[in-house]
A and B are shown apart, each in its own frame.
Chain A
Amino acid sequence: MSNEKNFFVGYHDRLPKTDRRTMIITGAAALVGAAVFGAKLAVHQQARGSGQWDQGKIVDLTGMVEQSPYPVLRTASLDGQMRSVSLVCSNKCGVAAQLAEFEGQPVWVRGTVISRGRHRMLAVVSNAEWVGPAQGVTHPPKVQEEYLGRAALNGEILDAKCWTGAMRPSSGKTHKACASLCIRMGGTPWFLAKDKAGRRVVFVLTGPDGEPLRDEVLPLVGEPVRASGRMIRRDDLVQLRVDPRRIQSV
């Protein structure tokens, strides 16, 4: 009877004709739709910057350790140019404790370079000695400090290492928990501000007297905030010294 022939029963090996046609059309539409929709979702994502982390290449740098507010190696051994290279862990942790005894001394440091634009960081190797006193290092000139005035800016608190190249995306909601975790565990908070023309500046975020910030800023990491304070240039990094209690959600 034609009725029975047109009735789908899954364990019968041949599908009724109408069902077979429906299934073939549905299957083909699903494949084409999946390709198109996947492409649509992909191309509308925002560009995420050019941060890079070359984890395959281990380098040794020599320079002077500066601990406060966040660990930095003042060195020219990367490319001959005097730079403040931030020192961070390979994982989500800080290096301040291990560097304490080397404050203001010449050291060698071993790690992999994270770079974005003019910024360089060194993620120290975790499976071997990575720091020790160095001989014959010429003392770099004294830190050039300059007061640049006050600023009140909208922007986002982010983790310096993620932004410089450990992660892309390294800002915004999906990365918020990760950035909070990094900073909680000893990462360096930076502050990214943009203007309407798409220009952007980053600051090292510190307390009012240039002291490190950590737990005070955690809830607002990765969210649009307004921060105000004094801008201090120290060599090639600019600090934004803020009262963390006055950072506001916007």
Chain B
Amino acid sequence: MSHGYTAVQWNGFKWRYDLVVLAGLAVFITSFVLLTMGSRDPGQSLTLIQVLMRAFGAAAFLLLNVILAIGPLARLSPRIKPLLYNRRHMGVICFILALVHAGLSLLWYQGFADLNPIVALFASNTRYTSIAGFPFESLGFIALMLLAFLAVSSHDYWQAALGSTLWKRIHLGVYVAYGLLVMHIMLGVVQGEKDLIYPASVIGAFCLIAGLHGASAIIGRLRDRKVRASLDGWINIGAPQSIKENRARIIRTPSGDRIAVFRYDGKVSAVSNVCAHQNGPLGEGRVIDGCITCPWHGWQYRPEDGRSPPPFDEKISTYRVQIDGGMVYVHPDALPPGTPSPPAKISEAKS
């Protein structure tokens, strides 16, 4: 938002959210460490630093799976949407866990030698042409670098500074990092530990995340009706009463853009379905206090001109809309962001 930045815009929900995330991680790590040390005779276990390495690595990967599951789950069920709200903090926490894991591994396995540990990381295992012997550490290192780029740019400021599209493209890197980490684990600890729980957990997680993304893409496509423009270019949306009050219908134009058509206050307005903040689906939001409110982070826009109410100055595209013969028509050509477009009034006789 645009009236000076703060480090973190805290609110009660974020505090409670972060508290639960940190408590969950503390419970996971404590449980793993205590049971690793305690389930065997003393001296038959792992050294503490190697236990911590595993605990932090596993916690980071677990959290990354949770983070990646939230997006598609929120699309599938509106109940999950509040989890999206503070996903960014989880991303940064995930990076910090991964950094601790990497730091411990680098120190313990690659350190204490007369060689730069980063050099040792890439050079001490030379079996790059083998699968089973592959230096899986290098995959983890690259993934950590990617996560670093995501973590450091996890502030609204960077969205403004980099531009929304570039920012989003950088953040798509999370999927590449995820793929690399799956292989980091499969070619690392899974090669050494015999129990099936390790490969089964990783493969199960990957299938779940891939499946959820697939399902949400398919359902999103089915849910947003693709419409044909009529001869003069206007799209017939149907009767205004078929849209719920203060809600929207999302349509997909022939060119693939998504338009959210809102009904509120006896009027109909059409705006872009994409929030200027993190590209959230505005059409799944509601009109609150006269403003379209994004379901992800609550950013608001006036339906008649696509502008955020002062002091904010975010803008989204608007579309021309009219009612004719009891039907709502939208013109699929976007107006420049923030352009006023008069709402169509629903005539009394029809409602």
Q: Which residues of A approach B to under 8 Å, CB–CB?
A: 1, 3-4, 7-13, 15, 18-19, 22-23, 26-27, 30-31, 34-52, 91-93, 167-169, 171-178, 180-182, 184-185, 218-220, 222-223, 249
- In the bound complex, CA of A223 to CA of B86 (Å): 43
A167 contacts B31, C-beta separation under 8 Å: no
**Quick one: given A39-B31, A42-B36, A43-B35, are A13 and B201 in contact (CB under 8 Å)?**
no
Q: Which residues of B approach A to under 8 Å, CB–CB?
A: 9, 11-14, 20, 23-25, 27-36, 39-41, 43-47, 50, 54-55, 58, 62, 66, 79-83, 85-86, 108-110, 112-115, 120-121, 124-127, 130, 132-133, 135-137, 187-189, 191-195, 197-198, 201, 244-247, 285-286, 288, 293, 295, 297-298
- In the bound complex, CA of A11 to CA of B39 (Å): 45
B50 contacts A173, C-beta separation under 8 Å: no
A44 contacts B193, C-beta separation under 8 Å: yes
B182 CB to nearest A CB, Å: 16
A246 CB to nearest B CB, Å: 18
Select from chain A the residue with minimum beta-carbon distance to B297. A10
- In the bound complex, CA of A23 to CA of B83 (Å): 8
B50 contacts A39, C-beta separation under 8 Å: no
B286 contacts A169, C-beta separation under 8 Å: no
- In the bound complex, CA of A19 to CA of B13 (Å): 12
Select from chain A the residue with minimum beta-carbon distance to B285. A7
- In the bound complex, CA of A172 to CA of B193 (Å): 8
A31 contacts B24, C-beta separation under 8 Å: yes
B13 contacts A91, C-beta separation under 8 Å: no
What are 13 sample pairs from A and B whose C-beta atoms fall under 8 A apart? A11-B9, A13-B13, A15-B82, A19-B81, A26-B83, A38-B29, A39-B31, A45-B36, A177-B121, A178-B110, A181-B113, A220-B133, A222-B133
A50 contacts B62, C-beta separation under 8 Å: no
Among candidates A34, A169, A171, residue contacting B24 with C-beta atoms closer than 8 Å: A34
B46 contacts A48, C-beta separation under 8 Å: yes
B11 contacts A48, C-beta separation under 8 Å: no
A63 CB to nearest B CB, Å: 26
Residues of A within 8 A of B86 (CB): 10
- In the bound complex, CA of A174 to CA of B46 (Å): 13
Residues of A within 8 A of B47 (CB): 167-168
- In the bound complex, CA of A51 to CA of B193 (Å): 19
**Quick one: given A35-B27, A173-B136, A184-B124, are A93 and B246 in contact (CB under 8 Å)?**
no
